[in-house]
Amino acid sequence: MGGHGSAGTPSHRTASRDLVMSPQVVSGRPDGADAFLDAIIDHLPVAVYCKDAIERRFRVWNRAAEQLYGRSRADVLGHTDEDIFPALQAAAFRAKDDAVLAGQVHGDVPEEPVTAPDGSTVWLHTYKATIPAKNGNPMMIVGISEDITGRRRTDMRVRAARTEAENLLSVISTILIQVDDQDRVQRYNAAAERLFGIQASAVIGRRLEESGLRLDWGDILPLIITTLADQTTHELHDLRCTRPDGAEVFLDLYIIAAPTSGDGGRSSVLLLGHDVTRRREQEVQRAQGQKLESIGQLAAGIAHEINTPIQFIGDNLRFLADAFRDLARHRDAVATCLASPGDGVAAEAVQRIAEDIDLEFLHEEIPKAIDQSLEGVNRVADIVRAMKAFSHPDGDGGVRQVDLNAALRTTCTVARNEYKYVADLDLDLDPVLPTVPGHEGELNQVFLNLLVNAAHAIGSAHQGSERRGTIRITSRSLDDAVELRFADTGQGIKTEHRARIFTPFFTTKPVGKGTGQGLALCHSIIVRKHGGGITFDSEVGKGTTFIIRLPTQRLVQPA
């Protein structure tokens, strides 16, 4: 019949084999059995039974067998499988006995079902062997069986959970790549196949650099090493990846330590990625829209800024036109005088016209008018250049080296009409300020928001008076970063508002004056997109200073 030697308890199996194959069992069962050996067999935690090799009648049936099969020793000893078990089950047991007898070898059945007396199915792990007689022929068949129903149920649950997990990994949109401590890919899910355009079979087992995945491994590999060493988690944003078809996609990548089984297996990390290409495109479009909206709001002021130099250019041109006509009269009089030497009348006409047109005044004012006109043209050109630079999108959205001083000057030019009536602008910019990696268009938007907010704060503080405030913008180089400060002499930020100052849609401005998105956008651009920081110091009644720090090298933020 069936039975099992527990794979989970090898010491039980070994002890049982040795005991049932001992000389006492061979020579004396059942009449001359050694009482000590009987006691040991009877108290083994696994079912032990013996059948004679000829009639297949049970000669040994220990307590564990009684409990496992639900049949007492009295009901079993001296009977065959056919006497005890259902026909199909008995036939299966006999077939296994035949195989063991025919080969005279040990038989191991990892899993076999047995119907219990109550009709339930019990799963057994059975081990069978033969005991030879003195002539070498099989005399006894010994079986050891262990109930593995619970373990099998647990294994099935584990397998089901693994299958479910594998199925889940195959359908989730998150990219999952598992990499061992030798940088070799161990797992690569369907989402990764779809995004990178490379099948798992071409990637698994290869080193990352040889996998065909066109990512910036110079940023990723050091973080994998760090993660393996100290179990930290890191994240990289807006990683550019080129697919085999040439298409570019962008990823947010999270590098985390993979759980270990504790069985001495290799350490590994998980690369979890999200395709942010569409979100990035939408962010670029939204930022561009917000930038154009800002320019639209500044349009009246910009038009005024352009109109002022245009007006004095026009006035100077009209003056020059009149002066040209006066000079032409004087030139004609001089020509007549020169054609008639000694003609006193002609000489008097020259003198009279010179006095009439105030020739000395024209000699002094014409150069000034030309200089003023050229200055006005340059002023208009500066405004147009600033508008063009400010409104120009960031191209493909990639990171470029940004001249922050130039960006600050551009923003101040565009927003001049917002502050010139309420504040004086003091620019204190480091002449050797290093460039920083970033998105110039988005940084322009941050600078504009802070500059306009400063002007509004000063306007509110000095409303109804002729006092003017000051906006001071400074740039300084630190060890590994650049610091920008936007200081105003406005009304300051109330204590109860400070915790929410970067919260989206929070504003202290009147309805119609603010949407509450400006500072939230600044925080997102500086912190999330550029790996920097933005803070502020404020004193009610004295003003506020916003402090921005941007890394001079591309930084990776720990999660």
List the pLDDT tens digit at each of the 559 positions of the chain.
Answer: 544 333 333 333 333 333 333 434 444 444 444 677 888 888 899 999 999 999 999 999 999 999 888 889 999 999 999 998 888 888 988 988 888 888 755 678 888 888 777 778 888 998 988 888 888 888 999 999 999 988 888 888 888 877 777 777 666 778 888 888 888 898 888 888 888 888 988 989 998 888 888 887 878 888 888 888 888 888 888 888 888 888 888 888 899 988 765 455 568 898 988 888 888 777 777 766 666 666 666 666 677 677 778 887 888 899 889 888 888 888 888 888 877 777 777 778 878 888 888 888 888 888 988 988 888 888 788 777 777 766 665 655 567 899 999 999 988 988 888 888 899 999 999 999 999 998 888 898 899 889 988 998 898 888 777 789 999 999 999 988 999 999 999 988 888 777 777 776 556 655 445 444 678 888 888 988 888 999 999 888 889 999 999 998 865 444 3
**Which residue has 């007396």 as its token pair?**
117
The tokens for 89 are 């089950």
Check residue 232 and report its DSSP letter: -
Check residue 341 and report its DSSP letter: T
pLDDT the model gives residue 13: 37
pLDDT the model gives residue 30: 47
Handedness of CA 85, 91, 92, 96 (dihedral sign): positive
Would you state the CATH architecture of domain 394-559?
2-Layer Sandwich (3.30)
Pinpoint the alpha helices (H) of 340-494. Answer: 344-357, 359-391, 404-414, 416-419, 440-461
Question: How would DSSP label each residue in 418-449?
Answer: HHTTTEEEEEEE-TTPPPEEE-HHHHHHHHHH
Buried b (16+ CB within 10 A) or exposed e, 88-126: ebbebbbebbeebbeeeeebebeebebeeeeeeebbbbb
> Residue 295 corresponds to which amino acid?
I
CB 357 within 8 A of CB 329: yes
d(CA 172, CA 193): 12
CB 226 within 8 A of CB 232: yes
Check residue 127 and report its DSSP letter: E
d(CA 450, CA 443): 11
> Residue 481 corresponds to which amino acid?
A
**Which residue has 């000669």 as its token pair?**
59
Give the residues across from 401 on adjacent strands: 437
CB 457 within 8 A of CB 470: no
SS (HEC) of 165-209? HHHHHHHCCCEEEEEECCCEEEEECHHHHHHHCCCHHHCCCCEHH
Check residue 453 and report its DSSP letter: H
Same topology, domains 10-153 and 172-275? Answer is yes
pLDDT the model gives residue 46: 92
d(CA 386, CA 383): 5
Check residue 146 and report its DSSP letter: E
- From the list 476, 306, 286, 449, the residue with the least C-alpha distance to 383 is 306
pLDDT the model gives residue 510: 53
CB 216 within 8 A of CB 250: no
d(CA 251, CA 243): 12
Q: Is 454 exposed, middle or buried (0-12, 13-18, 19+ CB in 10 A)?
A: buried
The tokens for 491 are 């009304």
d(CA 148, CA 159): 16
pLDDT the model gives residue 494: 83
Pick the CATH number of 172-275 from 3.30.450.20, 1.10.10.10, 1.10.10.60, 3.40.50.300: 3.30.450.20
Check residue 85 and report its DSSP letter: S
CB 166 within 8 A of CB 190: no
Give the residues across from 129 on adjacent strands: 142
In terms of phi and psi (left: phi > 0; alpha: psi -120 to 50; beta: otherwise), the region of 507 is: beta
Distances in whole angstroms, Cα of residue 328 to Cα of each of 320, 343, 352: 12, 20, 14
pLDDT the model gives residue 445: 85
d(CA 189, CA 185): 11
Domain boundaries, the chain: 10-153, 172-275, 277-393, 394-559
Question: How would DSSP label each residue in 489-508?
Answer: -S----GGGGGGTTSTT---
Crossing angle for the helix pair 440-461 and 359-391, nearest 10 degrees? 120
CB 183 within 8 A of CB 224: yes
Fold of 10-153: Beta-Lactamase (3.30.450)
> Residue 159 corresponds to which amino acid?
R
- From the list 111, 135, 133, the residue with the least C-alpha distance to 123 is 111
CB 538 within 8 A of CB 454: no
- Strand 557-558 and strand 234-242: pairing? antiparallel
What is the largest distance, in Å, between two alpha-carbon atoms of the chain?
A: 171
d(CA 419, CA 427): 13
Residue 261's contacts (CB-CB under 8 Å, 6 or more residues apart) are none
